[in-house]
Amino acid sequence: MARTSQADLLRALPQVEEALCSPEVHALESLLPRTLLADSVRNAINEVRQNILTGSCSEVDRQAIAEDACLRALENLKPSLRRVINATGVIVHTNLGRSPLADEAVRAVLDVAQGYSTLEYNTDNLARGSRHDHIEHLLCTLTGAEAALAVNNNAAAVMMVLTEFAAGHAAVVSRGELVEIGGSFRIPDIMELSRATMVEVGTTNKTHVADYERAITSNTALLLKVHPSNYRLVGFTESVGVADLRQLADSENVRRHTTERAESATTQLLVYEDQGSGAFIRLESFGSYAEPTVAESLRAGCDLVSFSGDKLLGGPQAGIIVGSKQAIDRLKKNPLARALRLDKMTLAALEATLRLYLNPDRALQAIPTLRMLSESSAIVHARAERLAAALDSTLDKTCAHINIVPETARAGGGSLPMCDIDTFAVQISFKRGCAHDCEAYLASRAVVPIVGRIKKEALLLDARTLVDENTPEIVEALQAFFDSLCDKAAPSHKEGAQA
Ligand SMILES: *Cc1c(COP(=O)(O)O)cnc(C)c1O
């Protein structure tokens, strides 16, 4: 008996062509290509087929299949890359796009994106210009460098510097600085890729000036210093600062010009720091954990410093290289400069962001990353209170209990790893449903995905990375989550009705 009825059910399933002709699916033909609709229909039918085979379906509802196919098809209209609300308290969150741009930067992007621009056109002499010119002067003013260049990201910048100056030669680096940044960026791998010979010196916890000194030969092209962004060695440690590396390089360069080494020597020994985060302003509130600024590294004697545009700088993704004119000129001529060059939208955002730094007080307010890093906990607390009050007045008291709790935020993006930033989070304790289901709902079903975190069965929304405009969106999404619990509890089983 059972077998016959299963076969009957399978026979009752519509053909893909039939379901495509249903009025519901047909109505979407002006919005979506037919192949996509056919895929959605096929998937909807397949799910019912699976349910029949596992015995969990006792009736084929063609109308329901068509509606399910429509919901699946409409998912395709949602952009894949879209805005999310960051309630994690991690300010430079690499998975969530690192730094939000300042309004000024966004306007600059719009302006050049919508029409033609002076990207490579000089309006003064009506001739071809260079895209480097838009930011070079600003970077020099802000860091004290002689020259500057920006490429796709800092990984590209490191790759380019190593290739230009150390390919076929040796680059000396401390074992304490052979870091992995995440996303498979590892110093030893990038050395290999650039065909530089990596000469490791010192030990994991201690490297001395003498270690570098012994390693330098006539073939040494670079003394590389890598800012160990995402971790800190504490305890019995020692590393060699830029000033000491400068002295070593100077002595070696004098030797190269005066002794027998001159003939075989690779022109000049350079000091290069991969600074990672690239702070322009010393964030004093972070005390001894504050990152060195780019200007400080240059003053200490680096020939070249590179850093990201979207970490502590708070701009778009970019890799910025500043340093001596001689070295930057060589980099500009490297074919990689063309391969890794910035597009007009990034350049516009970067220039606008850099302009804000001309007035550091303004930068701290206008650049979201800097504002979030430096905002007082009183301001963050007040923002948490406004969100908590909105949730408290909207959500049913039988659904959740709302609190404000002190928490620790993070700079993120491998910046300021030792720095605990005081913050306040809105804590949602669940009386109905649970934190894990809510977390999943907010990420996948809310109109704007909301990313928070769970601690002790409660959902935390960190106010340091939120703005007040997020409040109505968060209230609405949480309300929708609790409504969806009611729908589930009720006999009607319209899954996905909120979508
Ligand atoms: C982040 C980082 C990089 C990589 O920079 P991207 O801009 O992400 O490519 C390289 N080196 C250090 C030290 C970093 O912190």
Query: Three-state SS string across 47-97, please?
Result: HHHHHHHCCCCCCCCHHHHHHHHHHHHHHCCCCCCCCCEECCCEEEEHHHC
For tokens 């399978």, the residue is 10
Q: Compute, in degrees rounded to 10, the torsion defined by CA atoms 485, 490, 493, 495.
A: -20
- Ligand 1 atom at minimal distance to the Cα of residue 94: 8
- Ligand 1 within 6 A of CB of 279: no
User: Please, what is the average pLDDT of the chain?
Assistant: 91
| Contact between residue 41 and residue 20 where contact means Cβ atoms under 8 Å apart | yes
- Does the CB atom of residue 315 touch ligand 1 within 6 A? no
Residue 102 to residue 100: CA distance in whole angstroms? 7
Give all strands (DSSP E) within 213-283, no chain letters.
220-226, 270-276
Q: Is 226 in the pocket of ligand 1 (CB under 6 A)?
A: yes
Percent of the chain with pLDDT over 70: 92
CB atoms within 10 A of CB 261: 14
What residue type is 127 in one-letter code?
Answer: A
Question: Residue 200's beta-bridge partner residues?
Answer: 173
Which residues have CB under 8 Å from 128's CB, separation 6+? Answer: 120, 121, 122
Please name the residue whose Cα sits nearest to atom 11 of ligand 1: 276
In degrees and rounded to multiples of 5, residue 297 shows phi and psi of -65, -35
- CB atoms closer than 10 angstroms to residue 54: 8
Ligand 1 in contact with 346 (CB < 6 A)? Answer: no
Measure 212 CA to ligand 1 centroid, in angstroms. Answer: 24
142-186 tens-digit pLDDT: 999 999 999 999 999 999 999 999 999 999 999 998 888 766 788
Ligand 1 binding pocket includes 371 (Cβ within 6 Å): no
Token duo for residue 4: 């016959």
Which of 290-304, 395-409, 414-428 has the lowest average pLDDT? 414-428
Closest C-alpha residue for ligand 1 atom 7: 154
314 C-alpha vs ligand 1 centroid, how far in Å? 14
**Does residue 308's CB lie within 6 angstroms of at least one atom of ligand 1?**
yes
Whether ligand 1 lies within 6 angstroms of the CB of 153 is answered as yes
pTM reported for the whole predicted model: 0.90
Report H helices in 320-462: 325-333, 335-339, 344-357, 360-366, 368-374, 377-394, 435-444
For a mutational test of ligand 1's pocket, the pick from 154, 229, 232, i.e. the residue with the most ligand atoms closer than 8 A to its C-beta, is 154
- pLDDT tens, 421-466? 999 999 999 999 999 999 999 999 999 999 999 999 999 999 999 9
SS3 156: helix
Does the C-beta of 86 come closer than 6 Å to ligand 1? no
- Ligand 1 binding pocket includes 427 (Cβ within 6 Å): no
